[in-house]
Amino acid sequence: MDGLLLQEAAQDAAHAEEWGTDVMIHHIVDADVLDLGFFSVDLSPLSVAPIHIGGLEIDVSITKHVVFLFIAAVLTVVTMWLAARAAHRLEQGEKAPGGLLNAMEAFYLFLRDDVAMANIGSGGERFVPLVITLFFFILFANLLGLVPFGATATSNIMVTAGLAVIAFIVIETAGYRALGAKGYLRTIFYVPPGLNPWMGAVMLLIMTPVELIGKLAKPFALAVRLFANMTAGHFVLLALLGLIITYGSFTTASGIVAVLGPLLLGLFVMFLEIFIAFLQAFIFAMLTAVFIGLIRHAH
Amino acid sequence: MTTWLTAAAVLAASPAPLGATARVAGQGAGGAIFSLNIGLLLWTWVLFLLTLGILVWKVFPLIAGGLEERQRKIQEAIDSARQDREEGRRLVEEQTRELARARQEAQRTLEETRQAVGRLREELIAEAEAEKADILERARREMERERERVLDELRVEAVEISLAAAERLIRARLDTDENRRLVREYIGSIGG
């Protein structure tokens, strides 16, 4: 009897191991199927043939992450629009400020005054919408991953890279516009004043690659930070829940422990994930503002 | 773990299109975490810029406008409250000043009245004194006059009496002592 149980358990364990990486990867990566628990939506009819530009193959098919990114975009617009409508009504004296408007205003004011304006400085008004939109767009994309059957579009490196590229373009353009062509080039080719020509040349030779790497490292860090945070959280959560499958069927006692332990830990990690969803959205928006402010006041 | 490695290997080894692994991801489980699907990047751009556009176009102006409007209203309320307070303080000061002035005025009036009353009393007293003196004087004069008149009358009467007495004397023809006695008797009878 015992032998049989053990054998089964061993089989289950082997199965679970298979399950582990497969399910985890499956959960994280993009797919052309929306897994909604009881049923799934096949997105492959919406896929289009990849476009070839030079050696580059671009597949603009609608995938799971595109759908959830779209939902995040819609949620961002709808939430802000509801707040705006409340603000409009308030302006016309129809209605006292209520819950959603208060919450959104708190976010709006914090992002505008303490994130955008504080880091960019005077003339930062132009970047306020970008910072706020970045925050809410990323926030909703992050939070959608915590919803049952949801997917985290921000745990896809190409999504975070896309956002980082936008941030990069805005940062560099802001620098160019604030410093002028000469000033902007000095952020790449910089010779400290008062250096003799020889040393200047040496400095230029050493510092130019450093400056260039510095420029590119910023968006790279933005992309990887968000991607890694969102991916890692899900891995931790899935690994914890995977423990249930791995150890849950050994004996009844171990089963109870294996179910309760990972569930409680998972709950804790879930709360942590909610916090991280806000934190990472905030960090992305904040760092974009910081970088804009840095380049506008370079040297 | 193996999937990870293969994904990394595919990425590292293939000089082939970056999007190649994307199809793998698209085909379900076992896709690569680092699948570099340029299409998704384009989608991100489209969706993000669309969101940003809509928000900038329709939403942010309303929120910012509402905030500014409220800020303006609150500022106005604060300003007007401050004005009201200053106005109130000014009014109170004015009232206080006015009150002090009125009190002073009343004090002055009272003092004046008191002085006037005092003066008037003195005047009245003086007048009364004068009148009293006058009356007394008049009375005295009257009495004097009366006494004079009475004396005159008395004198006339005395003469009359003397004459009447003399007439009696003569009529009775009595001796001197008898006469004198008779006169004295007569006069005594009058006095009696």
Interface ipTM: 0.82
A161/B41 CB distance under 8 A: yes
CA–CA dist B173, A254 (Å, integer) = 189
Q: Are strands A40-42 and A56-58 parallel, antiparallel or unpaired?
A: unpaired
A16 with A107, same domain? yes
A129/B39 CB distance under 8 A: no
Residues of B in contact with A47 (CB under 8 A): 26
A127 with A165, same domain? yes
Q: What percentage of chain A has pLDDT greater than the value 90?
A: 30
Query: Which of B154, B146, B147 lies closest to B190, judged by CA?
Result: B154
Is pLDDT at B3 greater than 70 in this prediction? no
Interface of B with A in 28-67 (CB under 8 A): 28-45, 47-52, 54-56, 58-60, 62-67
Of the residues A21, A42, A62, the one at which a domain ends = A62
A69 with A82, same domain? yes
CA–CA dist A230, A246 (Å, integer) = 24
Distance of CA B99 to the CA centre of its chain: 4
- Return the structure tokens found at A4: 């049989």
A15 with A58, same domain? no
Q: Cα A245–A248–A251 angle (5° rounding)? A: 150
Strand partners of residue A52: A57
Is pLDDT at B192 greater than 60 in this prediction? no
- Number of domain units in chain A: 2
A11 with A56, same domain? no
Considering only alpha carbons, which residue of chain A is nearest residue B62?
A84
What is the structure's pLDDT at B30? 36
Residues of B in contact with A109 (CB under 8 A): 67
Residue A204 lies in domain: 2-29+65-296
Mean pLDDT of A269-290: 93
Query: Which of B37, B17, B9 lies closest to A30, judged by CA?
Result: B37
Contacts of A107 (CB under 8 A, 6+ apart): A132, A135, A136
A28 CA: distance to closest CA in chain B (Å): 7
Helix axes B38-54, A64-91, angle to 10 degrees: 10
Nearest to B66 among A87, A133, A157 (CB): A87
Among A6-10, A102-106, B87-91, the range of highest mean pLDDT: B87-91
CA–CA dist A133, A127 (Å, integer) = 10
A221 CA: distance to closest CA in chain B (Å): 15
Of the residues A10, A44, A62, the one at which a domain ends = A62
A49 with A17, same domain? no
A70/B47 CB distance under 8 A: yes
Distances in Å between the Cα of B72 and the Cα atoms of A89, A91, A267, B62 are 16, 11, 45, 15
Mean pLDDT of A132-153: 90
What is the structure's pLDDT at A169? 95
What is the structure's pLDDT at B96? 94
A165 with A52, same domain? no
A43 with A187, same domain? no
Is pLDDT at B114 greater than 80 in this prediction? yes
A110 with A82, same domain? yes
Q: What is the pLDDT of residues B71-101, one digit of tens each?
A: 888 899 999 999 999 999 999 999 999 999 9
Task: Give which of B40, B45, B52, B60 to mutate to test A binding, by max A Cβ within 10 Å.
Answer: B40
A21 with A137, same domain? yes
A175 with A284, same domain? yes
B74 CA: distance to closest CA in chain A (Å): 13
- Return the structure tokens found at A10: 């061993």
Nearest to A83 among B54, B63, B70 (CB): B63
What is the structure's pLDDT at A18? 55
A161 with A48, same domain? no
CB count within 10 Å of CB A269 equals 20
Nearest to A108 among B29, B37, B63 (CB): B63
- Return the structure tokens found at A217: 């490292």
